[in-house]
Amino acid sequence: MDHIKVNGSSVLFTRAGELVRLTPCHENAIRFEAFPDCRIIDENYTLLPGQAPAVIKEYDRYVTMTVGRLCVRLEQSGKVIYSVDGNTVLEEQPELAFHSGFRHYDNCASGLWSARVTFKGREDEHLYGLGHEASGCFDLKGCAFDLRHVNAKCTVPFVYSSLGYGFLWNNPAVGNVELARNRTRWSVGATKKVDYVVIGGSPKAVSAALADLTGHAPVMPHWATGLWQSRLRYETQEDLLAVARRYRDEGIPLSVIVADYFHWTEQGEYRFDPAYWPDVKAMTEELHAMGTRLAVSVWPTVNEHSENYWYMQNHNLLIRTARGSDRVFAFYGWQAEIDATNPETRAYVWGKLKENYIDNGVDALWFDEAEPEIHPEQFDNLLTYRGRGDEVGLIYPYYYSQLAYDGFRSVGVDAPVTLTRCAYLGSQKFGSLVWSGDIPSTFESLSEQVKAGLNMSMCGIPWWNTDVGGFWGADIQSEEFKELIVRWFQYGVFCPVLRLHGSRVRHGEKLRDVKEPTGDPNELWSFGERNFSILKDLVFLRERLRPYIEKHMAVAADKVYPVMRPRFFDFPEDETCYTLGEQYMFGDDILFAPIVNRGQTEKTVYLPRGEWIFARDKKTYPAGFHRIAAQIDEFIAFVRPGAEVLGCF
C-alpha cells in the first residue's frame, strides 16, 4: 500500500485527485483532512488542535490509528471507519459502485472546490447540536439543515451522537448537512479542503474535549446572572432612567438595562444621539449607584452619512463585494457592513466604541445583526479579509465577538460579556452570550426555543438565552400574551441568562418624533397586577438561585458542561432521556420541565434513576413518569435529594 504512509504521528493517503491526512488532535479525538488540490494546506480556522499519543498499525489492506477510546480504520480504497471501544459508530458510504468516491469534489470557477462527505445512516442513532434554529426538533436525526447564519438561525457545525461520539465539521463555508435515515452528508459549495474531527466518549467527555479544541468560556461575572431589562426601545435617557428608578423603588434587583438600536446618531457612528441622550456619563453613574449595569446595542452597518464611512471604505475596513455596490443590507437606506474578520477593522471600531461608550461608563455591548445580516443572501458576492463569503461565511460572528473581547481586555475587564445574535465554533472563549434572534411571541415559539437551546448547549457554547416573551407580534393587552409572558419568564429563570426583551404592539400615538419609535412597555409591571406579582416572585427566586448558577458557570468555564443541558448529558445510559426535548437539567441538581402550551396546567415529567424531591411541596418522587399540575403561578422543578439548592424554593 504505497499510497498510505505513516509520517510521525500522522497517516497520509493519496489517490487520484486527493490527498488525505489523519492526525491525533486530542485525547479520544482524530482529525481528518482531505485536499482536492493534492497539497497540504495548514489552516485551522478556529480549531485549537492539540497532541495526543496514537497507536498506528499497518496491515495488508488498511491502517488503523487508535487515540484513547477512538479508533479510525483507513482502507486502501480511501474509506474510513470510526469505532469507540471497538464498536463502529461512523462509516463512510460510497456514492458510486465498487467502493469508489468516498469524498466528492467539483472545481469551481473561483478556483475553490465544492465538496461533500457521506456516511452511512444509522436507525439507532440520535443527533444533537448544530447551534440553534427554530425547527421544532430536539433529536435532529432525520432532519436537513443549511450551514449558514441568518436572523434566528445560528449554525455551529457540531453534533453529538447517542452512539457515543462527537463530530466537529471544521469548515466555515456555506453549505448543508443531511442527518437522514439513509445517510449523513456534509456538503459545502466553496472550500480548499474537507476538515472534520471525530471525538469519542460520553457527553461529558466530548464536551470537555470540545472545549479544549475550540476554547473555554470565561467565568460569567456576577453582574450578568441577574435580571436583564430591555425593550424595543427606550427612546431617551430619561425613559431608561425612569424604568431603572422604578425597579429600585419597587425593591426589585435589576442587574442590567439595555439601550437598544437607534440610540445613535447614524448607523456606523457608535455614539449616543445627544438630542435624546444628553449626558451618558451621568446616566451610567446613576445606574451604577442603583446596582445596575448598562449594555448598548451595536450594529455592523455603516453608510455614507456616517462620519466614519469614508475612512473605513478607503482603508478596506468594510466587507467588499465581487459584483455591484458594497451596500449589502437595507434598513433606513442601503448599508455597508464592517469587516470584522480584519484585525485593523476590529482595532478601529473598538477605538470608537471605547471613546463613545466605554469611557462614559457603558458596561457591555450588544452585537445585533451579528451574522451579519445581508440581503439578498449571496455569500459568493462577499469579499472579506479572511476570504470569500461562501468559503468562510460562518466565521464572521467569531471575529465580531473577538472585537469586543480584545477591546475590553485591553482596558482591564477580565471577563467581558457581549450579547450577540450569532456565534461560531470557539465564540465562547470571547464571552459571547448568544441569543436566539428575532423570534415570534407565540407558545409554539416557546416550545421551539426550549429544544433549540438544548441543541446549542451541546455545541461548546454555554452562554445562551432568548428574548423572554419572544421578540415580535406580542400585544401586552391580550390574555394570551399575559399567559405567555409568565410561562416564558418561568423558563427564563432556568436559563443561563434571564433577559426580558421584545417589540410590543404599539397602542396609541408615537411619543415623539424619532426615526425608530418604541412599542408598548415591556417591564414586569406592564402585564397586569397579577402577573406583576408572579414575575416579581420569579425575579427573587432567580436571585436566590444565583450562587447555584454561578457555581455551575465556573464548571462551564472549566469543562464547558453547560448549565442548561439535555437530560442525556447526565444520564447517557437512559434511552428515554434522548427523547425529552421539553425537560432538561439546570446544573447538576435541578430538573426543570417548562410549560409551553397555552392553557396547559399539568405536564408528564420523566424522572431518571434515583429519587427526586418536588421543589414546590418537598415531596419525594421515585423514578419514572409522573403527571404534575402547575397553575399559571406555578412551575415544575425537581431537585436531587440532599442538594443545597432545594432551600432556594
The residues annotated with a catalytic role in the active site are 368, 371, 438
DSSP output for 83-120: EETTEEEEEB--SSSTT--SEEEEE-TTS-EEEEEEEE
| Buried/exposed 458-472: b ≥16 CB within 10 Å, e otherwise | bbbbbbbbbbbbbbb
- What gap in Å lies between CA 419 and CA 433, rounded to an integer? 5
- Taking 3-state DSSP, the helix, strand and coil percentages for the chain, each rounded to the nearest 5, stand at 25, 30, 45
Report which of 429, 471, 501, 1 is spatially closest to residue 214, judged by C-alpha positions.
429
Please give the grid coordinates belonging to residue 90: 461512523
What torsion do the CA atoms of 509, 501, 355, 400 make, to the nearest 10 degrees?
Answer: -130
Other CB atoms within 10 Å distance of the CB of residue 400: 33
Q: Is 472 helix (H, G, I), strand (E, B) or coil?
A: strand
Block residue for cell numbers 504505497: 2
- What gap in Å lies between CA 12 and CA 23, rounded to an integer? 9
| Buried/exposed 318-334: b ≥16 CB within 10 Å, e otherwise | bbebeeeebbbbebeee
Please give the grid coordinates belonging to residue 104: 466528492
CB neighbour class for 527 (10 Å; exposed up to 12, middle 13-18, buried from 19) = buried
Listed in sequence order, the residues at least 6 apart from 428 whose beta carbon sits closer than 8 Å to its beta carbon are 211, 214, 215, 216, 217, 460, 461, 462, 463, 560
- What gap in Å lies between CA 465 and CA 64, rounded to an integer? 42
- What gap in Å lies between CA 584 and CA 564, rounded to an integer? 7
Q: Which stretches within 393-523 are classed as H helix?
A: 396-410, 443-457, 479-493
- What gap in Å lies between CA 71 and CA 66, rounded to an integer? 4
Report which of 232, 229, 238 is spatially closest to residue 278, judged by C-alpha positions.
238
> What is the maximal distance between C-alpha atoms in the chain?
81
- What gap in Å lies between CA 531 and CA 511, rounded to an integer? 26
Report which of 609, 648, 604 is spatially closest to residue 629, judged by C-alpha positions.
604
For the CA atoms of the chain, what is the radius of gyration? 25
Listed in sequence order, the residues at least 6 apart from 245 whose beta carbon sits closer than 8 Å to its beta carbon are 290
Please give the grid coordinates belonging to residue 176: 448543508
